Amino acid sequence: MNRFKNVIILIVILLTSISCAQQDQSNSITMDQFKEQLKSDKNMILLDVRTPEELAGPLGKIETAINIPLQVLEQRISELEKFKDKEIIVICRTQNRSAVAVNILNKNGYKAKNVLGGMTEFRKN
């Protein structure tokens, strides 16, 4: 039953992500902007919303990233409370889940931006 519930949640997230991916680009940053900020801003708050299994996969993890999977973000959002006055940069595999996460964070009073292209784009040469 739990597995079925997780599948339903993922379907809803994916359907939501389609509309969020088409959202206003003001809540997003380009890969070039992200890479530059990653190099220059040692205090950048980076949230990776992929699953732990994905972090261990071929795309890897950015060391400074906080990992809270999208599926549990709303339940664990209080873990980000200390960053409420800062901008949170959100990344996932391709940008769809991170767009949903940005929407959730912004609705809860956080300032968040989505990394366009996600880890797939980040790992390209």
Which neighbouring-strand residues pair with 34?
A: none
Q: For residue 47, which amino acid is it? A: L
pLDDT of residue 21: 45
State the pTM of this model: 0.81
Check whether domain 2-122 has CATH 3.40.250.10, yes or no:
yes
Measured CA to CA, the distance from residue 90 to residue 45 in angstroms comes to 9
Which neighbouring-strand residues pair with 90?
A: 47, 114
pLDDT of residue 24: 53
Give domain limits for the chain: 2-122
Given the residues 92, 105, 112, 119, select the one marked as catalytic.
92
For 10-54, the pLDDT digits (tens) are 665 666 555 444 445 689 999 999 999 999 998 999 999 999 999
pLDDT for residue 108 is more than 70: yes
Query: Biggest alpha carbon distance in the chain?
Result: 46
Helix (H, G, I), strand (E, B) or coil at 32: helix
Q: Indicate if 92 belongs to the active site.
A: yes
Q: Which residue has the higher pLDDT, 21 or 116?
A: 116
Q: Give 9's pLDDT tier (boundaries 50, 70, 90).
A: low
Q: For residue 22, which amino acid is it? A: Q
Q: Give 65's pLDDT tier (boundaries 50, 70, 90).
A: very high
